[in-house]
Amino acid sequence: MTTATLPTDELLTVPEVMARLKLGRSTIYDLIRSRRLTSITVGRARRIPVDAVRDFITFEIEEAA
């Protein structure tokens, strides 16, 4: 049996998202907690899909317009 896996470049760490969005750690965790930024937990590690970051940016741009 084979399982589908995501390439590691599709899942970002919190520090990587912080750098991309130029936001602080607590702000990223607040966005995750409020479900404005989708994330998954793998063991004790928090990972954010690249698509979730793109969706967040798109939503924020639409809201600002």
Average pLDDT, the chain: 91
How many Cβ atoms from other residues are within 10 Å of residue 60's Cβ?
A: 12
Q: Could you report the per-residue pLDDT of 6-28, keeping only the tens digit for each?
A: 565 799 999 999 999 999 999 99
**What is the reported pLDDT for 65?**
84
Please indicate, yes or no, whether the overall pTM of this predicted structure exceeds 0.85. no
**What is the reported pLDDT for 48?**
97
